[in-house]
Structure 1
Amino acid sequence: MVDSSPRQDTDDRRFMAAARRLSLRHVGLTAENPSVGALIVQGTGDGARIVGRGVTALGGRPHAERVALAEAGAEARGATAYVTLEPCAHHGRTSPCANALVEAGVARVVVGAPDPDPRVNGRGVAILRSAGIEVRCLDEAPEATRAFEGFLWRLRYGRPFVTLKMAVSADGAVGRLGEERIGISGPVANRQVHLMRAATDAIMIGVGTAVADDPLLTCRLPGLFGRSPTRIVVDPQLRLPIHAQVVRTAGTVPTLLASTKNPDGAEAVPYRRAGCRLLRIAGYDVDDLRRLMHAMPSAGVQTLMVEGGPALANAFLWAELVDRIVVIRSKVEIGEFGIAAPAGVLHPKGFRLARRERFGDDDWSEWERIEPCSPVSSPTSDASPPFKP
């Protein structure tokens, strides 16, 4: 029988919150597998103690449950296991984690979120319950799934989880026409952006931004350069200068160019020699952007951060491909010839304010999509406007 007492509920939520914090440790480092956190806990209330901790290992294996059970050893028997995602129920390189929990003799399992993988999708919970183990499900999305939102989006919608980030001046601009790059956000907010980069699979800009700003798009926090995301430049006509920073450093940081040009053609040769990979797109409209997004998981991209200019941002917003908007509002004023930020960024519609912080002089806000995305489907619109990155 499920214990629904206030003390047990408090314990469950406290330890699940700890398991979720643990899961964040390997976000972006577990390949196609989700970064899951697991805790094995003996006792309740003031007498509760953690006897095993686990997070999905680098590269995706072993899974969090097995790491936590190995640490707990014999103390797992009669304990409660807190797992941020439903334990797997399918055979791969090892037997299912649900079976491992049964064999370890745990008494209860608290699950943070269901796993939509068709090989799991309730089967993990069924294995546990059929063995007489008490199971409680705590589904508190979206916070519950943040560590593996890309994994869920790939399975549910066939595309990455997309975060659109923009720094906006006090007078609503993102830059100035005819000027070199202008720093809008301050150093504290910039460090937060680099942390976001370290936790995402890929970062995307349009070729216009690449030409105007010549960004490096890496994670430049001490010790985290190796976690720089794959860089994607939407460059339909291959007009990115061969001396651009993203091209010159393509041998060090994975770089992908989305272009209408033949990846094996003569125009692509200099980029390939520099280490860039080319992904062919059909054209310029928003349906082409949707198709590009549906190609991302096969390129290893489950989470995508869009840092481009207003044109690319508007295209993503119009196509309803944005799942989170991060707006950094600065005290800096651009003045005359300022490039206006998209209205969908200044006044998000269909999104809820999920987080607000103050980083130095900058106001940082995060907006989450309210309505769920459409299921996986092929783009069919005949009225898609062009996007010119």
Structure 2
Amino acid sequence: MADTELAAMRHAARLARVVLGRTSPNPPVAAVILDPAGHIVGEGATRPPGEEHAEVLALRAAGDRAGGGTAVVTLEPCNHTGRTGPCTEALIAAGVARVVYAVDDPNPVAAGGAQRLRNAGLQVVAGVLRDEVADGALRAWLHGVAQARPLVTWKFASTLDGRTAAADGSSRWVTNQVSRADVHALRDTVDAVLVGSGTVLADDPQLTVRQVGGVADGELAARQPLRVVLDRRGRVPRTARVFDGAAETLVLDTAVPRFALKALFDRGVRHVLLEGGATLAGAFLEARLIDDVVGYVAPKLLGDGTGVLRDAGITTMAEAVFLSVVDVARLGDDVKITGRPVWADSGNVRRED
């Protein structure tokens, strides 16, 4: 494996992250074309459904320079005709000599691309940086193929003693401006933002992606995730900010997380950001439907007020859900902790000394 190909794969992985939230239900894939000397001559990342896939865009940018070169792709090139043609045929027609990809396509409809390329005489190398790429931009999509539901990231902001609001109900602002900007960057990568009716009634959030700070403070981003409100009893008034037209809003008349996620999956949603209150988060946790946790913790103490989580079905310390910590970062004086729940029957149990 040439160093240029490894570098190209890492570059492709970064390119794929740029289109997160913009390709579902298709996977966020990126491709890099190297000429025979190993120089990058084209690159591309998957566009919204119905538009070109990464390989086609990269080949177009490369033009004749793709001949005899190498295509480096984060996902096995597709071998089926849907709203667009097979990427395998585009690679063959361009005269590419070698294809290097990271992750096998688990979708039986699109799989078989590697064998089609080999049958056409191309050299194919699979599994390059597979784990690294699968845990990156492709993670939510791969989760959807395996679980038939969206990946759920629960986001919360709290004081150091676990309060999301003070005793008088005030909650602006728990965290600092850097953390708030990071939340908007997180929203920009997901397909949908989900809350319960209680959060809408208490806080009247807009649930959009906006600029935080600077001359453009409060300005809406061009692309917005779907806003989802669980409102089983029809309590949310049409005057709520989630109906302001800044983004599409879906109201689901259910309080059952699994039903909500099924409805969203059927709409093409592959990554949900859960921003609801403590009770809704507890329901998702109790149902084991939280896949990632992103906590923004401010160096403040309230002593009383609204807690981060409740009604999660946990009654003893032995039942506490352990989080495998993925990352810890300083955001000004705040701390951002990213973790993934480790379930007791998953075979990956934390054991205390």
- TM-score tier, shorter chain, comes to 0.7 to 0.9
Counterpart in 2 of 1:24? 17
Separation (CA, whole Å) in 2 of partners of 1:316 and 1:11: 44
Please report the RMSD computed on the Cα atoms of aligned residues, expressed in angstroms.
2.5
Runs of 5+ unmatched residues, structure 1: 260-280, 375-389
Alignment partner for residue 197 of structure 1, among 187, 194, 212? 187
Deviation track 1:271-315 (CA, whole Å, cap 9, x = no partner) reads: xxxxxxxxxx3xx4xxx3212211112223221000111111111
Aligned positions of 1:168-187 closer than 5 A: 168-187=158-177
Residue 71 of structure 2 is matched in structure 1 by 81
How far apart, in 2, do the equivalents of 1:90 and 1:194 lie? Answer: 36
In structure 2, the gaps of 5 or more residues are: 347-353
User: How far, CA to CA, are the matches of 2:110 and 2:268 in structure 1?
Assistant: 21
The one-letter amino acid of 2:116's match is I
Q: Is residue 134 from structure 1 mapped to residue 123 from structure 2 by the alignment?
A: yes
Q: Is 1:290 equivalent to 2:286 in the alignment? A: no
Query: For 1:12-45, what per-residue CA distance to the aligned partner results, in whole angstroms no more than 9, with x for missing partners?
Result: 321111001111222222242222110001256x
The aligned residue for residue 309 of structure 2 is 342
Counterpart of 2:251 (choices 257, 273, 277) is 257
User: What are the equivalent positions in structure 2 for 1:321-336 lying under 5 Å apart?
Assistant: 321-336=289-304
More helix by share: 1
Change (3 A) 1:15 1:368: farther
Label 1:255 to 1:95 Cα distance change in 2 as closer, same or farther (>3 A). Answer: closer
What is the aligned partner in structure 1 of residue 350 from structure 2? Answer: none
The equivalent residue for 1:275 is none
Q: After superposing the two structures, state which structure 1 stretch, 88-97 or 301-310, moved more.
A: 88-97
- Structure 2 length as normaliser, TM-score? 0.86
Deviates more, 1:187-196 or 1:236-245: 236-245
Q: Which amino acid aligns with 1:150?
A: A
Shift of 1:335: 2.1
Q: Which amino acid aligns with 1:361?
A: D
Query: Which residue of structure 1 aligns with residue 237 of structure 2?
Result: 241
Is 1:97 the counterpart of 2:87? The answer is: yes
| Map of 1:320 onto structure 2 | 288
1:361 to 330, 333, 350: 333
Conservation of the 8 A alpha-carbon contact between 1:43 and 1:79: yes
Contact 1:33–1:60 (Cα < 8 Å) also in 2: no
Identify the match of residue 224 of structure 2 among 199, 223, 228. 228
Question: Are 1:20 and 1:144, in contact at CA under 8 Å, matched by a contact in 2?
Answer: no
Aligned CA distance change for structure 1 residues 362 and 52 (closer, same or farther; 3 Å):
same
**Pairing of 1:144-163 with structure 2 (within 5 A):** 144-163=134-153
How many angstroms does 1:370 deviate by?
5.5
Shift of 1:105: 2.0
CA offsets 1:326-369 (integer angstroms, 9 cap, x no match): 01111122223x22223889x98454222221111111111135
User: 1:162 and 1:99, CA in 2 relative to 1: closer, same or farther beyond 3 A?
Assistant: same
Distance in 2, matches of 1:185 and 1:348, equals 26
- Contact persistence 1:35–1:60 (CA under 8 A): no
Q: TM-score, normalised by structure 1?
A: 0.79
- Aligned 8 A contact 2:102 2:133 in 1: no
**Distance of 1:95 and 1:165 partners within structure 2:** 38
Residue-pair matches, total: 332
1:62 equivalent to 2:52? Answer yes
2:205 is paired with a residue whose SS is coil
Contact map agreement 1:197 1:219 (CA 8 A) in 2: yes
- Rate the CA distance shift 1:94–1:329 in 2: closer, same or farther, 3 A: closer
